[in-house]
């Protein structure tokens, strides 16, 4: 019996016998198939051990000569892969109008060509040399590890991917995405129509430009008012609006309402627009009367106090059923009459109006006459000096200071408090006398009854 094992190194194209060991190492780049032929001679033949040892040695030598170069080639390829060049890019977010830094990080750089392109694939820099005439781009750093450029005055049109390309045997590139954030300006408040007392007012808060969209909130008296929010895209930015409807009364005129705009780019701060409600309403009129009682020769000054929105410009002074006195002077809302007389008595009217209504108030003037009375000197037998006495008679009626149109009775010279006290004392005295009289009469009747039995006994 014989056991034959043959060993061959067969390349991809031509098989190679193991016995031929003189082939060059350049053929090791081809795929090798190994076949081993080992022939064991029958024990009957001579020198079987020598031949077996020789064949084993030849097979080992062949395997060694081909396996070692293959291992070396594999190791070199792994080392080459580990030391291959690479490029990395970093994403950037910047505020509109700011400065962006675009960086490309290099690995195992050996001086190959580095190109930086904008989102439109226009070359900005070629190995550190400017290729596009845009002074906003500047090369600030070029090292074997890091390439960095800056872009000033950034706008939303600069947004997109910037390419970092490394040209070697194979082209390597990475994209640095530039994102531009647009913070909102202070919002504006628009009114759809005029606010009228008893109606509703519609207010719209508008933030015309932001990215990402701004958040709007209505605030009144430290409380949030929910509104209807709408958005509209304007290219790469967004317009945001919020609308509210409020019922209004006269007391709401001048009330403060605020619209707040918040945005991630503001860093927790807010852009606030304050607005005061402008409520239109009809005027009110009130005449401020003069203090005290007016007599002949005094001066009259009446002031017409007017409120309203809008405030009436013209004020009309008239006298009911008569004309104003000749000496009457009107200055703005004030009526003045000098040297009063009883002919000036009457009801004076102040009127004012605007587009939303008309109002009036009246004042009744009553001028009192000054009367002087001189007494006669009494004749006596002695020489005395006479002194005239002048008495001032006060009329019995005077206007009420609280109501400009009312006429009330004035206080006389007699103190009513004293008269009332005297009357009360008199009534009290009469009551006491009556009580004493009744008590005495009752006591006298009782004594008669007790004395009758005593008389009969005697």
User: pLDDT tens digits, residue range 319-365?
Assistant: 999 999 988 999 989 999 999 999 999 999 999 999 999 999 999 99
String of b and e for 123-134 (b: at least 16 CB within 10 Å)? ebbeeeeeeeee
Say if CB 410 and CB 393 are below 8 A apart: no
268: left (phi over 0), alpha (psi -120 to 50) or beta: left
Across the range 297-323, mean pLDDT stands at 93
Give pLDDT, residue 446.
56
- Residue identified by tokens 């004309």 is 323
Rounded CA separation 277/250 (Å)? 10
pLDDT at position 206 over 80 = yes
d(Cα 131, Cα 139) in Å, to the nearest integer? 11
Q: What is the 3-state secondary structure (H, E, C) of 434-456?
A: HHHHHHHHHHHHHHHHHHHHHHH
User: pLDDT: is 418 or 336 the higher one?
Assistant: 336
> Residue 58 has what pLDDT?
66
Report the 10 Å Cβ neighbour count for 153: 12
CB 259 within 8 A of CB 189: yes
In what order do the strands lie in the sheet containing 3-10? 15-17, 3-10, 33-40
Q: Is 185 helix (H, G, I), strand (E, B) or coil?
A: coil
Strand spans (E) along 322-434? 328-331, 334-337, 346-354, 357-365, 372-374, 390-392, 397-399, 407-409
Residues 6+ apart with CB under 8 A from 36: 5, 6, 7, 8, 18, 59
Domains in the chain, start-ordered, CATH in brackets? 3-82 (no CATH), 86-181 (2.60.40.10), 188-277 (2.60.40.10), 282-376+387-412 (2.60.40.10)
- Record the tokens describing residue 114, joined without a space: 């580095």
Neighbours of 294 (CB within 10 A): 21
Instruction: Round the CA-based radius of gyration of the chain to a whole number and report it.
Output: 60
- When pLDDT is cut at 50, 70 and 90, the band that residue 238 belongs to is very high
Which of the four pLDDT bands, split at 50, 70 and 90, describes residue 219?
very high
CB distance 308 to 281 below 8 Å: yes
Peptide bond into 169 cis (omega under 30): no
pLDDT over 90 at 139, yes or no:
yes
Q: Both tokens of residue 112?
A: 């190959």
Nearest CA among 265, 88, 102, 87 for reference residue 177? 102
Q: Residues 183-199: what's their mean pLDDT?
A: 94
What confidence tier does 412 reach under pLDDT thresholds 50, 70, 90? very low
Cα separation, 217 vs 159, in Å, equals 29
The pLDDT assigned to 189 comes to: 96
- Give CA–CA dist 376/194, Å, rounded: 76
pLDDT at 288 over 60: yes
Which tokens belong to 116? 């930086």
pTM above 0.75, yes or no: no
């Amino acid at each position: 019996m014989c056991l034959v094992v043959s060993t061959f190194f067969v390349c991809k194209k031509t098989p190679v016998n193991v016995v031929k060991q003189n082939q060059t190492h350049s053929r090791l780049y081809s795929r090798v198939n190994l076949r081993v032929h080992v022939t064991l001679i029958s024990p009957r033949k001579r020198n079987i051990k020598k031949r077996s040892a020789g064949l084993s040695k030849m097979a080992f030598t062949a395997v060694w000569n081909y396996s070692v170069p293959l291992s070396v080639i594999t190791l070199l390829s792994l080392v080459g892969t580990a030391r291959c060049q690479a490029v990395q890019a970093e994403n950037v977010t910047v505020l509109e109008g700011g400065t962006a830094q675009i960086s490309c990080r290099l690995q195992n750089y050996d001086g190959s060509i580095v190109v930086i392109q904008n989102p439109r694939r226009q070359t900005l820099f070629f190995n550190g040399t400017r290729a596009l005439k845009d002074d906003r781009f500047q090369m600030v750093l070029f090292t074997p590890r890091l390439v960095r450029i800056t872009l000033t005055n950034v706008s939303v049109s600069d947004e997109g991917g910037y390419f970092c390309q490394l040209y070697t045997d194979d082209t390597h590139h990475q994209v640095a995405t530039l994102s531009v954030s647009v913070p909102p300006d202070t919002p504006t408040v628009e009114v759809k129509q005029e606010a009228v007392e008893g109606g509703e007012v519609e207010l719209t808060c508008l933030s015309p430009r932001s990215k990402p969209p701004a958040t709007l909130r209505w605030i009144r008296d430290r409380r949030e008012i929910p509104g209807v929010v709408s958005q509209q895209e304007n290219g790469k930015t967004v317009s945001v609006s919020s609308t509210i409807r409020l019922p209004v009364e006269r007391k709401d005129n001048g009330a403060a309402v605020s619209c707040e705009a918040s945005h991630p780019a503001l860093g927790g701060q807010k852009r606030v627009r304050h607005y005061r409600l402008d409520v239109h309403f009809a005027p009110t009129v009130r005449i401020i009367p003069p203090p005290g009682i007016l007599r002949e020769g005094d001066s009259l000054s009446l002031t017409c106090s007017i409120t309203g929105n809008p405030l009436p410009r013209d004020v009309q002074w008239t006298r009911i059923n008569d004309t104003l006195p000749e000496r009457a002077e009107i200055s703005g809302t004030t009526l003045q009459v000098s040297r009063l007389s009883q002919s000036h008595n009457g009801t004076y009217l102040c009127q004012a109006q605007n587009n939303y209504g008309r109002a009036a108030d009246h004042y009744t003037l009553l001028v009192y006459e000054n009367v002087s009375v001189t007494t006669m000197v009494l004749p006596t037998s002695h020489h005395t000096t006479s002194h005239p006495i002048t008495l001032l008679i006060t009329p019995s009626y005077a206007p009420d200071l609280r109501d400009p149109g009312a006429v009330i009775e004035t206080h006389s010279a007699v103190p009513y408090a004293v008269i009332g006290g005297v009357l009360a004392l008199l009534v009290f005295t009469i009551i006491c006398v009556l009580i004493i009289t009744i008590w005495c009469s009752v006591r006298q009747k009782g004594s008669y009854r007790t004395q009758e039995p005593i008389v009969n006994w005697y």
